[in-house]
Amino acid sequence: MVFSGFTFLLLFFPITALLVLISKNLRWQNAVLLVASLVFYAWGEPKWVFAMLAVTGVNWLCALPMQRESLPRAVKKLLLALGVLAGLGLLIYFKYAAFFVNTVGSLFGRPNLIKPAVLPIGISFYTFQALTYSVDVYRGKASVQKNPLKLLLYVSCFPQLIAGPIVQYADIAAQIDDRTITVDGYLRGFRRFCVGLAKKVLLANLCGAVISEIGMADAGSMTVLGAWLGAIFFTLQLYFDFSAYSDMAIGIGRMLGFTYKENFLYPFMADSITDLWRRWHISLGAFFRDYLYIPLGGNRVGTARMILNLLIVWGLTGLWHGASWNFLLWGLFFGILLIFEKLVLGERLNRIPGALRRIFTLLMFVLGCVIFYYEDVRLGFTHIGAMIGVSITNGVWSTLPLFDEKRLLLLLKYALPLVLMGIACTPLVKRIANKWEARHAKKRCGFDLASIIAPVALLVLSLLFLVGQSYNPFIYFRF
């Protein structure tokens, strides 16, 4: 079940929201949410619920005695290791075992020793969240959760279960026991959800359809224009898809009384690679910073060790997205850029005109997205070569045409949507919407009618588009 599907929009969430609203107290609300979350996850393949239950149960049992002052520190470390290994072990088995075994096997002429396991959806999200619980308790950052069902609610809560954001236990623990659903909060959540749904259905899905028309799968036959169009539309698809699901998750959480942190803050407005990764998938960056980079020593170590730390973190950040060489290369690409920016450019970066910094940052991100797209790394480099008009076949260099009739017609066909998407990547739309609402605000029944007109219109438009769309991919299946 996905947020942009009719089952969720017309059946699952309306029923869940109604049951939560009519629940007498928070205890009943938590019970409804827990059952709903398990149903949501089990909808496609019920057996994988047991894997999530096992990870949660092991982490609950391991963390339970950690706050006893009499418990030796060595025992606490052992319990922490067991809890962490329960989640990471499962993740490594399902997601990476075949990749690593077959990579080693290929060195000895046996590239396909084992088949990749069927990946439980959302496993990268819920294992990381279970891990944050054990680590936060060990560090004293959060109290032990004595009720295993409340911990299971944190791990399985459906708004952020399969597509993020990654919610750290310390940030949400208090809300499990103390939260309130208000009219204002519900309406704000509804607006946020509708914006996210529209970004997914109206923009991200359109980008995906354009990519299919461009023919990115055949990178070797690209023209320069086709290569750039493919790279730009895939970059936009990633942004609108990823940020749309975060918007929907944050909105649903708000309607249910939870407050989740922002996960995207207009990343294409960034003026450096460092700034970009403070704006893109913020919860993932925060996780690797808090639970890997800082424990490795972060910036408090020598230069050589800091470089190693950054390469480890970004290599694993890449592999988190999938067990494939292109993801590892994507992570290391940005790790190297960050190291260059930090150690080579330093303060000189601020003396470069802001427009040039933004153009360079955006260009690097687009190149990174091309690497991200192709599981066959060679095709990724072929595509990047096409972007500069160069093709290499059997070691022979040749130049590519700037455009062909097919890609030129595609540019003309999608020029206006492309411009509108570019505007949608900036804060301009939000500023205009806020000014319009402020100017037309009229209180009725305790809320502004103007503030719900646009979200309802977006919701209706999205549903109409979903009726006519056969293309509605869920790109998190590998995460």
Tell me the catalytic residues: 321
Q: Which residues contact 412 (CB under 8 A, 6 or more apart)?
A: none
**Bond prior to 165 in cis (omega within 30° of 0):** yes
How buried is residue 46: exposed, middle or buried, by Cβ count under 10 Å (0-12/13-18/19+)?
exposed
Coil, strand or helix: which one is 393?
strand
How buried is residue 308: exposed, middle or buried, by Cβ count under 10 Å (0-12/13-18/19+)?
middle
- Among residues 249, 244, 264, the alpha carbon closest in space to that of 201 is found at 244
- Distance CA(262)–CA(275), nearest Å, equals 15
Q: Is the distance from CB of 204 to CB of 241 less than 8 angstroms?
A: yes
Q: State how far the alpha carbon of 392 is from the alpha carbons of 330, 380, 381, 396, 462, in Å.
A: 22, 13, 10, 5, 43
Question: Scanning the structure block, which residue is given the tokens 């169009």?
Answer: 229
Q: Which residues in 161-193 are b (16+ Cβ under 10 Å) and which e?
A: bbbbbbbbbbbbbebbeebebeeebbbbbbbbb
Coil, strand or helix: which one is 17?
helix
- Among residues 188, 187, 195, the alpha carbon closest in space to that of 457 is found at 195
